[in-house]
Amino acid sequence: MTKWIRWSGLLGFVVFMAVLVAFWLFAAAPIIKFSIERFGSQAVGAKVDVDEVTLGFNPLVLSINGVQVTDIDEPMSNLVSFDSAVADMALFPLLLGKAIIQDMSLQGVEFGSVRQTSGALSKPAQTTPSQTTEAEPAKQQVAAKPEDKVKTSSSDPLLSADEILAREPLLTVTRGEKFKSSLATHKQEIDESLASVPNEKTLRDYQSKLDIILAGKFKSLKDFKARKKALDDLQDQFKTDRKAIKRASAAIKNGKKDLQSQWSGLKQAPKEDYKNIKGKYTLDAMGTSNLAALLFGKDAGGYAATALEYYEKVSPLLANDDEEGDLLEDAQQKRLAGQFIHFPTDRPLPDFWIKHLSFSANLPMGEVMVTVEDITHQQDVINKATTLKAVGRDLPAIKSLTLNGVLDHRIGKGRDQFDLAIQDWQLKGLNLGLAGLELDNSLLDVKADAIFNGSHMNAQGQGSFNQANFSSNDKTVLAKEMVSALANIDTFSVDGKAEGKLSHPDVSISSDLDSKLSKAFNKRIKQKQDELAKELRNKLADKLLSYGGDYEDQLKQLNVSEGSLGDKSKAMGKMASTEMGDYQSQLKAQAKAKADKKKKELAKKAKDKLKKLF
């Protein structure tokens, strides 16, 4: 029998196996470290760093120290990091290449810790700059948020009359400026034309001169000629002055017509402005209809966005690779390479399985104990879903916090469900981001649940605020009115819903605060509406006055000037129509008068003779 045994071969085999085991013992830890870093980085899409991995053999304990998982969106910060992880591993499955961790506990877990070096994966040189530009838009988005806030506040439902008038393009101003400009132009034109019109003294002088010219009889032909020349000169002057009067009358007439036309438009402008402003600025409680979304949307949206970010990063890690890619092609490849057929068992062996993971996370709200059961990417093998439970421990501001999650990826695209319950969360100094409003203090109860079906989500939550007190440091009208309106509200609830595609769900936030605020606002708003309307009208009237000014007086003066010009024109016309007879006519008239006198004397003599005869 012994002749069949090859001792040298037996020894060689034993030595070979011993070397193999020895190699595994020494190389296992570095290989595990390398594997975690390499495959972890591939899975996360950013660097996963491990300081040290040690392996203990009795019992088999894997210790991983200094783990940092980079946030792919912010390479200078970690998605999660922990100081150490101690894992109790099952030896036998490990020999089969299956990492089955019975129990794993993490210490020093932190989220969003700062990295010393960038955790971006090195890419080809030409793509490296894009990494920095990828990070920058994120910062820009963050930086843009305050601007958004400013934009939001620009649509504040309540503003002062001055604020409204300052930001609105007013017809009163537009038409007023035009009117003012036209008035100045016309005034200048009228003044210039009136300057060449003779005044009363000049007219009296004209009349005196005319009287002198026409007084008495021509003493001689020379006298006649001199008077004639003086009259002609005077009439030429009359013609010039009449033309000036005509121009001035036309200027006044045009000015009056234009200004009157503009004035009627200007007088209507304040009414039109008020109508426009009233339509644009809802001076009623409708302005508060979605105030809750404005107040709490940012915070609720922020928490939800953070939760979704973490979910989107974790969820793919749970997905079974078997479900990815072209299933048909995958199945064909498997068929050629063979595949494992799993049978019902209470001892399933997936490639990777953390049966129990526990850690405490230091979050801004305090310490939260987290336990996760059955972490594996092959849930179909273990036929169990990954379950998550987070419980707040001695939280300073929260009476109780519980988050339960079930991530089930056994069938299809998976179905993940989360329930969150927070009781008596003492909120203090919560900046609401609108009009400097702060929720000074309040007790908040939160109940929320979310279901993720593949790429679809359906989440809803309700926050019940009790003993709420608001304040604002802003001096704006809105801030004051908000605080006044909120003073009587100490309980309210905020409901949030997110439904649709995971990448862009339809989000809605509603609250009974809206109706409560509306009610409280209605009274204040009515009062403010009246005040504001009155103030607006007064301001607009002031503006009208500033443009119209003493237009009415000026118009009266223009009318007077126009009338005066008419009189002057008439007087000038009368004077201009004055004519002087010629010297020959005067001589003929004298000769005729002499002949007539002689004729009368002869007739009288004849009459007396006839009387004497009878």
Judged by the rule CB under 8 A, the positions of this chain that interact with another protein are 3-6, 9-10, 12-13, 92-93, 95-96, 335-347, 349
Q: How would DSSP label each residue in 14-83?
A: HHHHHHHHHHHHHHHHHHHHHHHHHHHHHHHSS-EEEEEEEEEETTEEEEEEEEEEEETTEEEEEEEEEE
User: Minimum CB separation from another protein for residue 32, in Å?
Assistant: 19
Residue nearer to another protein on the CB measure, 343 or 614:
343
CA separation for the pair 64, 86 (Å, rounded) = 6
Residue nearer to another protein on the CB measure, 347 or 609:
347
Residue nearer to another protein on the CB measure, 96 or 144:
96
Residue nearer to another protein on the CB measure, 346 or 394:
346
345: left (phi over 0), alpha (psi -120 to 50) or beta: beta
User: Minimum CB separation from another protein for residue 322, in Å?
Assistant: 15
Q: Residue for token digits 């034109």?
A: 189
Residue nearer to another protein on the CB measure, 27 or 595:
27
User: Minimum CB separation from another protein for residue 331, in Å?
Assistant: 12
User: Minimum CB separation from another protein for residue 342, in Å?
Assistant: 7
Residue nearer to another protein on the CB measure, 96 or 212:
96
Residue nearer to another protein on the CB measure, 35 or 260:
35
Q: How is residue 515 written in tokens?
A: 């109706």
Q: Which residues pair with 142 in a beta bridge?
A: none
325: left (phi over 0), alpha (psi -120 to 50) or beta: left
User: Minimum CB separation from another protein for residue 351, in Å?
Assistant: 13
User: Minimum CB separation from another protein for residue 11, in Å?
Assistant: 9
φ/ψ of residue 116, rounded to 5: -80, -35
Name the nearest CA neighbour of 223 among 211, 233, 213.
213
Residue 71 half-sphere exposure toward CB, CA atoms < 13 A: 20
User: Minimum CB separation from another protein for residue 91, in Å?
Assistant: 10
- Taking a C-beta distance cutoff of 8 angstroms, is the pair 485, 469 a contact? no
CA separation for the pair 287, 283 (Å, rounded) = 8
Q: Residue for token digits 């006839």?
A: 610
User: Minimum CB separation from another protein for residue 353, in Å?
Assistant: 14
Residue nearer to another protein on the CB measure, 13 or 310:
13
User: Minimum CB separation from another protein for residue 29, in Å?
Assistant: 22
User: Minimum CB separation from another protein for residue 314, in Å?
Assistant: 29
Of all helices (H) and strands (E), which one includes residue 514? helix 512-548
Calculate ∠ Cα 147-152-153, nearest 5°. Answer: 95
Name the nearest CA neighbour of 437 among 489, 481, 492, 467.
481
**Which distant-in-sequence residues (6+ apart) come within 8 Å of 367 by Cβ?**
360, 361, 392, 393, 394, 395
Residue nearer to another protein on the CB measure, 216 or 344:
344
Residue nearer to another protein on the CB measure, 16 or 26:
16
CA separation for the pair 333, 328 (Å, rounded) = 9
User: Minimum CB separation from another protein for residue 349, in Å?
Assistant: 6
Helices assigned H by DSSP within 196-326: 200-214, 221-280, 291-318
Q: How would DSSP label each residue in 90-115?
A: -HHHHHTT-EEEEEEEEEEEBSSPBP
Maximum C-alpha span of the chain = 220
Residue nearer to another protein on the CB measure, 90 or 448:
90
